[in-house]
Amino acid sequence: MTNSTLINCCIHILLALFMPPLLLGVIGKTKAAFAGRVGAPFLQPYFDIIRLLQKGTVFSTTTSWVFRAGPIVALATAAVAALLIPFGAHPSPISFEGDMILYAYLFALGRFFTMAAALDTGSSFEGMGSAREATYSCLAEPTLFFALITLSRLSGSYSLNGMLSNVSSGAWLYAGASLLLLIGGMFIVLLAENCRIPFDDPNTHLELTMIHEVMVLDHSGPAFAIIQYAASLKLFVLGAFFVQLALPFATGHPYLDWGVFIATMLLLAIVIGIVESVMARLRLVRVPQLLVAATILAAFSTLLVIR
Amino acid sequence: MSLHMKTFHNGTSFSRADIPMPDNDSFFQEILDAITAGWRVCSYFGVPNAAGATLYCILSARAGDGTLGVIATSVGRSFPSLAALCPQLHLFEREIAEQCLVRPEGHPWFKPVRFQKPLCEGKGFWSESDGGGLLPAVMDFYRVEGDEVHEVAVGPVHAGIIEPGHFRFQCHGEEVFHLEIALGFQHRGIERALIGAPTNRTMHMMETIAGDTTIGHGQAYCMNMESLGGIFASPRAETVRGIALELERLANHTGDLGAIAGDVGYLPTASFCGRIRGDFLNMTALLCGSRFGRGLLKPGGIGFDCDAALVDELHKRLQSAREDLAGAVKLLWDTPSVMARLEDTGIVSEIDARQIGLVGPAARACGLNRDVRRDHPFGIFRMSQIPVVTATTCDVAARTLLRWLEAERSLDFIDEQVRHLPRGGYCNQPKGVAADRCSVSLTEGWRGEICHVALTDDRGRFERYKIVDPSFHNWNGLGLALRNQQISDFPLCNKSFNLSYCGFDL
């Protein structure tokens, strides 16, 4: 391992550790700007996590170890996924043939434990939230796989590093139509997987309408801080995948590339903030329709590259 | 139809001896006949006595001639229930049973209303807890049986900062079959405390029946005190009262428009309306120093006069608030994703609305053309009318649109009134309360019809002061709106009704 790879590896891990909550801060600030408010500081999500970490935790006596495992597994899976995904032009620290399957199912594992922890409480709200989450994630999964198939077909590689490094301005020239469909589908999945408007409203306090938030209603203190952090990490990791597809800029200079990556991630946060500001939540019965539309977009992008 | 009831107009009093007291059969037949002929029940309550109770029924005629009617009868320990024939009576009959310990025989849905202690000595119809008295929401709820049916219980503690209420849903997946609402957590015993009133505190209790309807309830009480005392409020006072009532409507309608937008996750309108609501509250504060209008109304007039500079300031602020509100609300209509959420959600059919006796914006959104300001004009509305707005789609979108249209009419009204504020005194001295009289006052609060009935004894004290908040009529409407809807649409439907918990619980 050369010196520069070591430095890049450290930067990768540091970014994955410390940057995710900033995205939430940027989204919040963007929404505040649209609503004509000053808004919370950019660093508010960090303050929230620190505040929660200092609190005590209450565990219901009806819950078992599954309830406690939920936040930890969610964080662990998101963290491993963060090591598999390349950040911008820089390759990921861990990479092997077929790691894309692991990447996809790490999220499924985290989700499974979040849902199991929710069901463990026996609350009817959390049961409803789990049911919704299970339905929508089933519908979101095919889109991700069509995307991975398209990318591996374009690059001839089965690892995320190879697939995503192949996407460049050059790839946009010969497979632009396919990639355009792909980022359409992936953007929908990005919003759905991270429970953003129009699928879910992360700011709502209405227990009957929530999806992700209702599943974590019974977690408190440090466990809830872990959940908040894991959710932002998930947004960061899926966002990194998306920006590499949509904005594959590379300067060739390693430090400039890190700057480009950070800038594109912040841009993504602003775009999500704008989407959340200009539209309302979908009615829950309409959510599957939009997810199926995303799958169809991704499926057509696959069709276009299989000649 | 031959009418046996005594007819009168809003805000007038008459001797209690003039109230017809037919036998039970004629009394109940009269109510049935009147409802069949299109009358509706404003208030139906009992005054307990040793043998049972005296039941009083206040009815309002079909729109047009502004007639109200009253009829009464004495009953023993039970009386025949009319709820199965006239669903609008069903809560009133349960309330009578709870307050006066007389049983409505054959009531199809016989449950407590507020889980309160009766107004007289004796044991209630429902099993009580160890500590004595009923605990709110401890009762048998309606259940839908079936393997795939699940029950969701929400409240009384909610994830948001709202008043306490318990909601029991019977669901099939995401679809709601039935919603049952149990209230009473905020019961403060207002009607019991009003027996033997009025005292110096009475006006303040009236202002807090429902904190967001201070002017609406305050106006009804002032009208009763004025008719019982034989005095009138000056035109200047009536005009300021009208302005305050419409400001209250504007503030709450604006808040609701914002809250509806917030519930569908549409932030710009939610944030803007939150601020503009504050602007309207501050205009009320300009009049009397309280954002909710506390202390503005007094029997005989108003507590504070307003000078020319204040009127100019009010006029100026109204103009800017109108522009801001129009802009914020236009965003709603222009955003397809918002309208997709509002349309066809939470429908209450016009027939249902008529049968359960909805009032206020919730009724007008179902196409029912009823508004106390026009049907039974009071105060300034006898001189200056506000056009009544109705909608026809009966859904959340209709209730939202109606709020905006009403806000526009209220803005026009205030705009006109502040320009022609009559001169003269602002408060006449009250003269005391006449003995052995009955006074009935209806006002149109922002949620709908408010009905106050005062019965005075031989010393000029209240033997009974009956309050009906519009929420008492409308909570059942929310239950019906949820039938066959998505459970995730409940908060939105709830917000579109925005009913009062404490106004119901009294």
Chain B touched by A172 (CB under 8 Å): no
pLDDT of B130 higher than 70: no
Do the chains contact at A284 and B488, CB–CB below 8 Å?
A: yes
Test mutation, A132, A210, A283, chain B, max B CBs within 10 A: A283
Test mutation, A29, A206, A211, A220, chain B, max B CBs within 10 A: A206
What is the mean pLDDT of the segment spanning B28-46? 90
Residue at token pair 């010196």? A3
Q: How far apart are CA A18 and CA A27, in angstroms?
A: 16
Chain B residues whose CB is inside 8 A of the A281 CB are 264-265, 337, 341
- In Å, how far is B174's CA from the nearest CA of chain A? 8
Tell me how far the alpha carbon of residue A192 is from its chain's centroid.
9
Q: How far apart are CA A199 and CA A211, in angstroms?
A: 9
Do the chains contact at B488 and A282, CB–CB below 8 Å?
A: no
Chain A residues whose CB is inside 8 A of the B271 CB are 35-37
Tokens representing A242 are 């998306």
The number of beta carbons lying within 10 Å of the beta carbon of residue B50 is 7
Chain A residues whose CB is inside 8 A of the B152 CB are 124-125, 128, 208
> Residues 55..94 of A with a Cβ closer than 8 Å to B: which?
none
Query: What local confidence, expressed as pLDDT, does residue B56 receive?
Result: 92
Chain A residues whose CB is inside 8 A of the B490 CB are 208-209
Which stretch of DSSP H or E encloses residue B267?
Answer: helix B267-288
Phi first, then psi, for residue A178 (nearest 5°) are -65, -45
Query: What local confidence, expressed as pLDDT, does residue B2 receive?
Result: 55
**CA of B176: which chain A residue's CA is closest?**
A208
Query: What local confidence, expressed as pLDDT, does residue A206 receive?
Result: 76
**Please, what is the average pLDDT of chain B?**
89
Sign of CA dihedral A251, A254, A255, A257: positive
Query: What local confidence, expressed as pLDDT, does residue B4 receive?
Result: 80
> Residues 477..496 of B with a Cβ closer than 8 Å to A: which?
486-491
Do the chains contact at A124 and B272, CB–CB below 8 Å?
A: no
Q: How far apart are CA B472 and CA B476, in angstroms?
A: 8
Q: How far apart are CA A103 and CA A83, in angstroms?
A: 10
Domains within chain B, CATH numbers bracketed: 1-113 (3.30.460.80), 190-495 (1.10.645.10)
pTM: 0.89
Chain A residues whose CB is inside 8 A of the B261 CB are 280
What pLDDT, in 10s, does the model give residues B230-262?
Answer: 888 888 889 999 999 999 999 999 999 999 998
Tokens representing A83 are 């090591």
Q: How far apart are CA B281 and CA B297, in angstroms?
A: 16
> What's B299-315 look like in SS3?
CCEECCCCCHHHHHHHH
Tokens representing B115 are 């889980």
Chain B residues whose CB is inside 8 A of the A128 CB are 152, 174, 487
Partner residue facing B340 (CB), from A203, A205, A283: A283
- In Å, how far is A207's CA from the nearest CA of chain B? 7
Please state the ipTM of this predicted complex: 0.84
Chain B touched by A128 (CB under 8 Å): yes
Q: How far apart are CA B80 and CA B106, in angstroms?
A: 7
Query: What local confidence, expressed as pLDDT, does residue B211 receive?
Result: 87
DSSP single-letter state for residue A253? -
Chain B touched by A48 (CB under 8 Å): no
What pLDDT, in 10s, does the model give residues B304-336?
Answer: 888 888 888 999 999 999 999 999 999 899 988
Q: How far apart are CA A302 and CA A294, in angstroms?
A: 13
Chain B residues whose CB is inside 8 A of the A34 CB are 267-268
Chain B residues whose CB is inside 8 A of the A198 CB are 265, 337
Residue with more model confidence, B137 or A64: A64
Query: What residue ranges do the domains of chain A occupy?
Result: 3-305
**CA of A122: which chain B residue's CA is closest?**
B152
Query: What local confidence, expressed as pLDDT, does residue B446 receive?
Result: 93
Helix residue spans in B303-391 (DSSP H): 308-334, 336-342, 350-356, 360-364, 372-375
Do the chains contact at B152 and A197, CB–CB below 8 Å?
A: no
pLDDT of B134 higher than 90: no
Chain B touched by A134 (CB under 8 Å): no
Q: How far apart are CA B47 and CA B99, in angstroms?
A: 9
Q: Report the largest interatomic distance among the alpha carbons of chain A, rounded to a whole angstrom.
A: 59
- In Å, how far is A277's CA from the nearest CA of chain B? 6
Chain B touched by A39 (CB under 8 Å): no
Sign of CA dihedral B168, B172, B173, B175: negative
Q: Chunk chain A into consecutive blocks of 10 residues (it has 307) and report each block's average pLDDT, rounded to whole numbers.
A: 83 93 94 89 94 92 92 94 90 90 92 93 87 90 92 88 81 84 92 87 78 87 93 93 87 87 94 91 88 94 87
Chain B touched by A12 (CB under 8 Å): no
What is the mean pLDDT of the segment spanning B40-69? 88
Residue at token pair 């697939």? A163
Query: What local confidence, expressed as pLDDT, does residue A65 receive?
Result: 93
CB pairs under 8 A between A and B: 91
Tokens representing B138 are 């401890």
Q: Which residues, at least 6 apart from B280, have a Cβ–Cβ distance to it below 8 Å?
A: B247, B250, B251, B254, B321
Tokens representing B51 are 């043998």
- In Å, how far is B500's CA from the nearest CA of chain A? 18
Phi first, then psi, for residue A41 (nearest 5°) are -60, 160
